Amino acid sequence: MPADPVWVKQVHGTTVVRADAANATPADAVYAKEKNQVCLVSLADCMPVLLADERGEGVAAAHAGWRGLAAGVIESAIDALELPGERLLAWLGPAIGPRVYEVGEEVRAAFLAGDPKAEPAFKATRPGHWLLDLYAVARQRLGSRGVTRVSGGEFCTYSQPEWFFSYRKTGTLERMAAAVWLA
């Protein structure tokens, strides 16, 4: 039986903590290498990225909003697991989608300064504004760490309000949670 989940205080960064030490810790990713330790993140437009080792030796959950994604939260979660990327499976949960997620030049600059390979994830809309595909960036970042078995990435929290909460659409504080653990 899984342990009661604990919540981190998400801060849109790259800090990763162990699931058994996560309660109210400022962090954006949680990992576990022991059974029944729940890795949990909350979201309402940011993307959850769940990682699982094919041999059952570790799992992680990352809260990947644009700031954390640009800064390397996915890479930090993979590093915390200390497992080869080739053994990891990834799932990209519901997030604001590439057809509606418009960002300014400062967001694009933050991504490109850290990784020019993020360029294809941006589509110009009007001067100084871009549509950002969080899923494309996540797939690129995962691939750069050897994680090629990636699923998910087809939902939009903003465009599918009957299924998901979207802070950007409604401004409300409702959240969803994504969790993973070793059984």
Find the CATH number of the domain harbouring 156.
3.60.140.10
List the domain range (segments joined by +) for residue 156: 16-97+135-180
Question: What letter does residue 82 receive in the DSSP assignment?
Answer: T
With respect to residue 158, please indicate whether it lies within any of the assigned structural domains.
Answer: yes
Identify the pLDDT of residue 7.
Answer: 86
Amino acid at 97: G
With respect to residue 142, please indicate whether it lies within any of the assigned structural domains.
Answer: yes
**pLDDT tier at 13, thresholds 50, 70, 90:** very high
> Phi/psi at 135 (nearest 5 deg)?
-65, -40
Amino acid at 3: A
Identify the pLDDT of residue 3.
Answer: 77
Count of structural domains, the chain: 1
pTM for the model: 0.95
Q: For 74-111, write each residue's pLDDT tens digit.
A: 999 999 999 999 999 999 999 999 999 999 999 999 99
Q: Provide the 3-class DSSP secondary structure of residue 180.
A: strand
The secondary structure element, H or E, covering residue 78 is helix 73-81
CB 95 within 8 A of CB 87: no
With respect to residue 10, please indicate whether it lies within any of the assigned structural domains.
Answer: no
With respect to residue 120, please indicate whether it lies within any of the assigned structural domains.
Answer: no
**pLDDT tier at 24, thresholds 50, 70, 90:** confident
With respect to residue 106, please indicate whether it lies within any of the assigned structural domains.
Answer: no
Q: How far apart are CA 174 and CA 44, in angstroms?
A: 7
With respect to residue 109, please indicate whether it lies within any of the assigned structural domains.
Answer: no
Identify the pLDDT of residue 5.
Answer: 82
With respect to residue 114, please indicate whether it lies within any of the assigned structural domains.
Answer: no
With respect to residue 92, please indicate whether it lies within any of the assigned structural domains.
Answer: yes
